């Protein structure tokens, strides 16, 4: 009798657990590290609809061990000099792997940086990294913020490597991934391996355009697409190929934003919008703000890399995939919303010698501007929440 009751209780508990699991959403269901890593590897092997094959370097092929290690490094605040910053604090998973609250990134001890944090979604396809394109691989880029004096501020690569070696929860992880311990090279390769898994597409646009699903896209977004590829001319730089679309041309352009900020805005600006708390802003006198803060260094764009005067105020074309998730916009975060971006290009930016000739007044109607915004909103991948869950699944030790 007792044995029968025990069997009954066991069966009841199994049924209850099954019922609870069945009622969990996919994001709530428990995922083992192994299944998570398999899913990440599968994204690289078979990218979502609308994306091409993922380019991977011959000396850093993806493996589950590298991806797991890279995810851990990406979220670990202990890797900054004072233990307060991680990669994920300038590329917040819940904010499109960018930062929505601030125009530009914040570095060591709250210092404002010159530029907006670009999204890492689909960074695997970038031929050059940073707004000025100064790096040519994710492996190299991943190291730069770790030793930049105004970002994570480690005094040297050697110091960072020794710090990682002293963290016991990293014991054996580099050896599993690379057959050797942490070095400048393996740190960059691990973070890059994780970042290559941040692939997001299969958007409503992709299902309509590449998947040939007529009902996937609304009429307003379809009108926006027609404007995007026609009258508005956006597709000249945010390109669409026959079988995929990265919505970028890998080139550098003077959109007039950098010129305006350097030559006009900082002298003419009457007020500055300051964020006090989430959703709480106040407009302060620009001169008062400048009086209590150190001016940001001049930003000359691509010129800082090439030293070619023709590259003054040119910045890399960003991808428009998932653009609805990654506000604010432009290299300096000066445009807060997609309607502001569309209005900026509609009026032809800030005309000046050197502005890209494709930027001109478009004379769009309000309906046309709204349609372009609807199209841009249709470019959000269907797995954004999955990528957030994947990132936050990694548990990091307390900062030291």
Note the pLDDT of residue 400: 43
Whether the per-residue pLDDT at 245 is higher than 50: the answer is yes
Does the pLDDT value for residue 29 go beyond 50?
A: no
pLDDT band at 3 (very low <50, low <70, confident <90, very high): very low
* 268-302 tens-digit pLDDT: 566 666 666 666 777 877 677 666 666 667 899 99
Contact 312, 252 (CB under 8 A): no
Element (H, E) at 273: strand 271-277
| Contact assessment for residue 107 and residue 148, using Cβ atoms and an 8 Å cutoff | yes
Tell the CATH topology of 33-199+383-392.
Cytochrome Bc1 Complex; Chain D, domain 2 (1.10.760)
Predicted local confidence at residue 111, as pLDDT: 83
Q: Is 50 exceeded by the pLDDT of residue 259?
A: yes
Three-state helix/strand/coil letters over the chain: CHHHHHHHHHHHHHHHHHHHHHHCCCCCCCCCHHHHHHHHHHHHHCCCCCCCCCCCCCCCCCCHHHHHHHHHHHHCHHHCCCCCCCHHHCCEHHHCCECCCCCCCECHHHCECCCCCCCCCCHHHCCCECCCCCECCHHHHHHHHHHCCCCCCCCCHHHHHHHHHHCHHHCCHHHHHHCCCCCHHHHHHHHHHHHCCCCCCCCHHHHHHCCCCHHHCCHHHHHHHHHHHCCCCHHHCCCCCCCCCCCCCCCEECCCHHHHHHHHHHHHCCEEEEEEECCEEEEEEHHHHHHCCCCCCCCCECHHHHCCHHHCCEEECCCCCCHHHCCCECCCCCECCHHHHHHHHHCCCCCCCCCCCCCCCCCCCHHHHHHHHHHHHCCCCCCHHHHHHHHHCCCCCCCC
Which tokens hold the place of 180? 């050797």
Domain ranges of the chain: 33-199+383-392, 252-377
Overall pTM surpassing 0.75 (yes/no): yes
Whether 33-199+383-392 and 252-377 share one fold: the answer is yes
pLDDT given for residue 31 in this prediction: 65
Percent of the chain with pLDDT over 70: 84
Level-2 CATH architecture, domain 252-377: Orthogonal Bundle (1.10)
Mean pLDDT confidence for 159-169 = 97
Q: Are strands 271-277 and 252-253 parallel, antiparallel or unpaired?
A: unpaired
Q: How far is the first Cα of the chain from the last one, in angstroms, to the nearest whole number? A: 56
Query: Measuring CA to CA, which residue among 321, 339, 266 is closest to residue 298?
Result: 266
Q: 359 near 345, Cβ under 8 Å?
A: yes
Pairing verdict, β 271-277 and 280-285: antiparallel
pLDDT band at 303 (very low <50, low <70, confident <90, very high): very high
Q: Tokens for 170, please give them.
A: 């990293």
Q: Residue 119 gets which letter from DSSP?
A: -
Task: For 176-203, write each residue's pLDDT tens digit.
Answer: 999 999 999 999 999 999 999 999 999 9
């Amino acid at each position: 009798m007792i044995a029968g009751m025990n069997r009954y209780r066991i069966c009841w508990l199994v049924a209850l657990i099954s019922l609870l699991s069945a009622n969990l959403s996919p994001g709530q269901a428990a995922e083992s590290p192994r299944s998570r890593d398999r899913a990440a590897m599968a994204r690289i092997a078979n990218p979502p609809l609308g994306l091409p094959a993922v380019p991977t370097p011959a000396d850093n092929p993806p493996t589950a061990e590298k991806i797991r290690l890279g995810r851990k490094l990406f979220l670990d605040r202990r890797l900054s000099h004072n233990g307060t910053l991680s990669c994920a604090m300038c590329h917040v998973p819940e904010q499109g792997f960018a930062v929505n609250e601030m125009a530009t990134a914040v570095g060591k001890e709250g210092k404002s940086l010159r530029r907006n944090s670009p999204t890492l979604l689909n960074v695997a396809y970038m031929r050059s990294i940073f707004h000025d394109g100064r790096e040519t691989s994710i492996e190299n880029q991943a190291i730069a913020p770790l030793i930049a004096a105004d970002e994570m501020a480690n005094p040297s690569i050697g110091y960072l490597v020794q710090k990682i070696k002293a963290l016991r929860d990293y014991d054996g992880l580099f050896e599993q991934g690379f057959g050797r311990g942490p070095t400048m090279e393996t740190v960059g390769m691990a973070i890059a391996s994780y970042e290559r898994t941040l692939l997001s597409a299969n958007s409503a646009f992709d299902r309509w355009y590449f998947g040939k699903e007529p009902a996937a896209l609304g009429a307003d977004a379809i009108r926006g697409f027609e404007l995007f590829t026609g009258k508005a001319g956006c597709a000249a730089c945010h390109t669409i190929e026959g079988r995929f679309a990265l919505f970028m041309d890998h080139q550098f352009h003077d959109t007039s934003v950098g010129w305006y900020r350097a030559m006009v805005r900082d002298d003419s600006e009457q007020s500055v919008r300051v964020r006090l708390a989430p959703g709480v802003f106040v407009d302060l006198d620009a001169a008062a703000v400048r009086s209590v803060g150190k001016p940001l260094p001049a930003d000359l764009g691509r010129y800082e890399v090439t030293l070619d005067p023709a590259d003054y105020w040119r910045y890399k074309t960003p991808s428009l995939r998932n653009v609805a998730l990654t506000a604010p916009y432009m290299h300096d975060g000066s445009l807060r919303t997609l309607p502001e971006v569309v209005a900026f290009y509609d009026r032809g930016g800030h005309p000046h010698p050197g502005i890209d000739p494709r930027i001109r007044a478009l004379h769009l109607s309000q309906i046309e501007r709204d349609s372009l915004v609807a199209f841009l909103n249709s470019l959000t991948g269907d797995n954004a929440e999955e990528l957030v869950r994947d990132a936050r699944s990694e548990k990091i030790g307390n900062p030291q």
